[in-house]
Amino acid sequence: MSGSLFYSEVAGFTPCVLCWYQRILMYPQAILLAVALWKGDRRINDYLIVLSAIGALIATYHYFLQIGVLPELPCSVTGFSVSCSQVFIMNLGYITIPMMALTVFLLLILLALINKKIRVEPKLKV
């Protein structure tokens, strides 16, 4: 999350429409996680999985646009937005900003699934 803010606010990369959609799905998860931790609510896993799955789909589509697997559909770039196929960074030959977002979304899904499987059994008092 701080990475996307760094790239937009410090590095000056203008986020595209798909970047905004990914942010809309990622940023609330930090708040949801904080509230769930505070209240000890484990039901948060389902919400995290849904938000992260949608975000992962958008990030995958965005990544495929950037590396040229999918052709970019002609669309009107609204207001201040840049083209979704524009690559601002490319590390190690494949890591772009959407790939970073995809990695975070998949990691959140994995952690939520692991957390769902962990059951704390109550100890019996003898």
66 CB neighbour count, 10 Å cutoff: 23
Is a pLDDT exceeding 70 seen at residue 65?
Answer: yes
Question: Measured between alpha carbons, how far is 62 from 102 in angstroms, rounded to an integer?
Answer: 10
Asked if 98 and 17 touch (Cβ cutoff 8 Å), the reply is no
Provide the pLDDT confidence category of residue 19 given band limits of 50, 70 and 90: confident
Q: Given this model, what pLDDT does residue 63 score?
A: 84
87: containing domain:
2-117
- Would you say residue 122 lies in a domain? no
pTM of the model: 0.72
Asked if 65 and 72 touch (Cβ cutoff 8 Å), the reply is yes
- Would you say residue 76 lies in a domain? yes
The average confidence (pLDDT) of the chain is 77
Is a pLDDT exceeding 60 seen at residue 10?
Answer: yes
- Would you say residue 75 lies in a domain? yes
Amino acid at 16: C
Q: Given this model, what pLDDT does residue 78 score?
A: 55
- Would you say residue 64 lies in a domain? yes
Structure tokens at 103: 């990695």
Plot region of 87 (φ>0 → left; ψ -120 to 50 → alpha; else → beta): beta
Structure tokens at 51: 């938000």
The pLDDT tens digits for 25-59 are: 988 898 998 998 898 877 888 889 999 999 999 99
Q: Name the domain count of the chain.
A: 1
- Would you say residue 123 lies in a domain? no
- Would you say residue 125 lies in a domain? no
- Would you say residue 124 lies in a domain? no
Length of the chain: 126
